[in-house]
Structure formats: C-alpha cells, structure tokens
Amino acid sequence: MIPSVLPTYSRAPLHFVKGEGTWLVEEDGRRFLDLGSGIAVNALGHAHPALVAALTAQAQNLWHVSNLYEIPQQQALADKLVAASFADTVFFTNSGTESCELAVKMARKYWYDKGQPEKTDIIAFAGSFHGRSSAGIAAAGSEKMTKGFGPLLPGFKHLPWGDHEALDAAIDDNTAAILIEPVQGEGGIRPLPDQCLQGLRKLCDEKGVLLVLDEVQCGIGRTGRLFAHEWAGIAPDIMMVAKGIGGGFPLGAVLATEEAASGMTAGTHGSTYGGNPLGCA
C-alpha cells in the first residue's frame, strides 16, 4: 500500500524531535551533529533565538497579506540584498525551484523586449541541479530527473562541466543565457575555478548572452563570502537564491540588475490587480 506521504524520498529511519544549534536530538535521546543542515538550509542552525523571535513576533502580529500590498519587511530585506550585492532589484519566492522559474522567464523576456525573441535557449551543465519543477528538471537535464516526465520544457542545451571549447561552440544566435552553479551542490560539491567564472562573464559580454548564477546552495555565506561568485570578482546579470536566506523558513529570491530585470513589469510575474484591491479607505 502506498504510504500516506508520497514515497519519493528514501528516508533514514531517524525521527528527530529537537534541534539545538548544530545538534539534532533523536526520539531515543541520541544526539547527532547536523552536518546536513536540512540540505544547506539551516544557515543559523536550529532554533536560533533571533530567528525564533522574529518569526514569533511576526506570527503573533500579522500572518499574510500577499504581494498586493506594501510589505515593509520585504522592502527592508530587498534593500539589504541590493546594498550587499551586484543586484538592483529582488523578487522573493518560496523556493529555489521557483527562483529558477523566474530566472528562466526573466532571461527570455529580456531578449523578447529587446526585439530578439529568437533568443530563448539556456545553456546549462552536466551534474547541475536547479530544482524539481518542469523548468528545473529541463534545465538540469539529467535522465534521473527527467525520465518519464516529458514532454520537457524546450530551450535547454546541456554541456559537459568545464569544457570551454564546447561552450564557445554551443553559443549561437538563439542563446539567451548561461545558467550555472558557481559550486555544484548536488553534482558533488564541484567548485568552478575563479578563472572559469571570469571567462564565462567575458564570453557572455562578448557574445551578448546573460549570465545566470544559481547560488541556491552555495550562496548566503556558505563559501565565506555572501555569494560564491564574489571570490572571482565578477557579477552575474541574474542570480537565484534560496535555502540559507530563510534559515529554514521557505524563502527564495531572484536578484538581478536593472537591465536584466527590465522586462519584468507589473503583471508579467505577478498581478496587475494592485492599488487597493479590497477597496479599503
């Protein structure tokens, strides 16, 4: 009989009942050092007092209003991210997968608005992981993730990791963006050398292609800088973030330059139904 929780994960037979900083406590009292951190999610560890206090205060005050209203806390976080990064603007999501969806849409819309609607292809790399949505699995492209789930979202090309010549040859008039993790996470913690990231930036500039970085797993301080690409001294056009940004609360973001985000106006990835939808005085 199928379990009531869809069995898409093979779970370890452990039942944690408490988390304290870097430690997890199993039902039977055993303590485990949590090196997994919820797959790179719990950036502040378990039950960090500041996070608990912020979430408790917010939950007791106001739960959810939607993006139809101004949200000062959202604004404050966007301002912080803009001040601390290459980005001019931020869109908040609930997951890395959703960040992938927007990054792909934003890259395509950018070229569409520039009068080059043929530029829709995204070049991605073997061993990558970009999430489990239709765009996410099409972007990563591995058989393990895509088999049986077709037809896949078209417009993705997959290249071997680290093959500069293949990359150079693959870029053509239809290429919208290169999508890459500066450190592949699911692919086995494979860092892209700084000079490769610098080369990628140069190639994108020369060929008129957007550089989209997936920092869902390697971003938010995990490499010792706020974002992994900072080590190479380059900046992307669009960047996907999630996991550590929420410290366990489901939160993601897409950071972008003003130029790259220029096509994402009201109604393109949200509702035009703004202003005062409830008609409040």
Binding region for ligand PLP (CB under 6 A) = 39, 95-97, 100, 129-131, 181, 185-186, 214, 216-217, 242-243, 252
129 backbone φψ class: left, alpha, beta (φ>0; ψ -120 to 50): beta
Active-site hit among 109, 119, 157, 243: 243
Smaller CB separation from ligand PLP, 87 or 119: 87
Cβ-contact 213, 240 below 8 angstroms: yes
In the complex, least distance from residue 252 CB atom to ligand PLP, rounded to whole angstroms: 6
Cα distance between residue 242 and residue 8, in whole Å:
22
Q: How far is CA 176 from CA 5, 40, 172, 241, 280, in A?
A: 39, 29, 9, 20, 43
In the complex, least distance from residue 133 CB atom to ligand PLP, rounded to whole angstroms: 8
Strands 210-214 and 190-191: unpaired
Residue nearest to ligand PLP (CB): 96
Smaller CB separation from ligand PLP, 51 or 100: 100
Smaller CB separation from ligand PLP, 191 or 208: 191
In the complex, least distance from residue 11 CB atom to ligand PLP, rounded to whole angstroms: 16
In the complex, least distance from residue 138 CB atom to ligand PLP, rounded to whole angstroms: 13
Smaller CB separation from ligand PLP, 185 or 263: 185
Active site residue 91: no
In the complex, least distance from residue 61 CB atom to ligand PLP, rounded to whole angstroms: 26
Active-site hit among 129, 156, 157, 227: 129
Smaller CB separation from ligand PLP, 119 or 125: 125
Active site residue 194: no
Answer whether the bond into residue 151 is a cis peptide, omega within 30°.
Answer: yes
Active site residue 119: no
Active-site hit among 109, 157, 214, 227: 214
User: Which residues are identified as catalytic?
Assistant: 129, 214, 243
